[in-house]
Amino acid sequence: MNKFICSGLSMAVLAFFTSCTSTSTFSDNSGQDSTTIQPAVITEPVKHDTDDPAIWINPVDPSQSLIIGTDKDIDGALYVFDLKGKIIADKVVRNLKRPNNVDIAYGLMIAGKATDIAVVTEREANKIRIFSLPDMKPIDKGGIDVFAGEAERAPMGIALYTRPSDHAIFAIVGRKSGPAEGYLWQYRLSDDGNGNVIAQVVRTFGTYSTKKEIESIAVDNELGYVYYSDEQVGMRKYYADPDKGTQELALISTADFLEDNEGISIYKTGTTTGYILVSDQAAGKFHLYPREGTLANPHEHNRIKTVQVATLKSDGSDVTNTPLNDQFKKGLFVAMSEGKVFHYYRWEDLEPK
């Protein structure tokens, strides 16, 4: 069992745990005891309320990769952490109006240069904000309006899709509430000719049960799918390419979740294989599903493992299979937790054996 890294953590953070090296057990539905997995790193706390993280991989030195995370408040911010969980103060973007979710894409052409970007929903401003990486400089002229003309706006979830055929980058955006059909809007991102990003609506799609809300969205670039959590109903699956239409491919049931199905992240073990991880928020669990589906049906995703984690009421999460350093040799899973923090897990501690 991996130990916590305790140095530099506040007492408020550590108060959530009885011991930095302790483990505990729970009894799952089958009656078998399982170990609660502890994070390898807990970040320094943000000011208000963590919600969603994203991982930026440094292409030159993966050990210098960054974790970008939202602080969800009207006096909100987009925080930047190193792999030790330390806040990089000069990269933090402040004065955001309730930033909700964030995602990252690589190589958007801006002023003739391939530029990595972080895109965050600014809920109270009805905008998405776009920042270049790793410097976290705004390249959006103050933000891009989303859901223009709609009665229900309030953007929450976001995922970025890079289309393999032409490397076009799209933002798929969800909102606090919306219609039963066409809940998500998809925007193509491009350069305005002056070094700033603009966005063009290319489609609206997505069924909504109207039971609660849709926040978490995740994209599988290589396989070309987008998944989103229709909370208390299930995880819905569509094609990510707007040219492939708006047909729903699957509704993956989460009927036995304790309450809400939330954060979605995708760990890749090969070109077409891997795992989809979904947060069972109130239970402190993540359920793992096969990325590739079954041999008979690529859209049939049957749960293969459940892991109990120390993370509390996790909304957003992200994962990478890239080896980052000696601590995260097979990649990193990061999840939001109560206590104004994010938890970093070693993939080795989560993966099916």
* Residue bearing the bigger pLDDT, 246 or 255: 246
The b/e string for 63-84 (b: 16+ C-beta within 10 A; e otherwise) is eebbbbbbbbbeebbbbbbbbe
pLDDT computed for residue 212 by the predictor: 93
**pLDDT tens digit string along 219-231?**
999 999 999 999 9
- Residue 330: how many other CB atoms lie within 10 Å: 17
pLDDT in tens, 55-103: 999 999 999 999 999 999 999 999 999 999 999 999 999 999 999 999 9
The answer to whether residue 107 scores a pLDDT higher than 80 is: yes
Say yes or no to pLDDT of 237 above 50.
yes
Residue partners of 235: CB distance under 8 A and separation at least 6 = 227, 228, 229, 251, 252, 254, 261, 264, 276, 278
Q: Which class in CATH covers the domain with range 11-349?
A: mainly beta
Of 86, 88, 68, the closest CA to residue 78 belongs to: 68
Average pLDDT score over residue span 21-26: 36
Give the pLDDT confidence score for residue 353 in this predicted structure.
86
Average pLDDT estimate for 288-312? 97
For the chain, domain boundaries: 11-349
User: Distance between CA atoms of 16 and 259, rounded to whole angstroms?
Assistant: 22
Does residue 12 have a pLDDT over 90? no
HEC profile of 246-266: CCCCEEEECCCCCCCEEEEEE
Q: Give the least confident one: 18-22, 110-114, 192-196.
A: 18-22
Write out pLDDT tens, residues 324-336.
999 999 999 999 9
Copy the structure tokens of residue 58.
Answer: 């440094």
Q: Tell me the average pLDDT across 315-326.
A: 97
β partners of residue 191: 197
Question: 158-210: per-residue pLDDT in tens?
Answer: 999 999 999 999 999 999 999 999 999 999 999 999 999 999 999 999 999 99
Q: Which helix (H) or strand (E) holds 11?
A: helix 11-14
- Residue 334 β-bridge partners: 318, 344
Contact 317, 335 (CB under 8 A): yes
Cβ 129 vs Cβ 139: under 8 Å: no
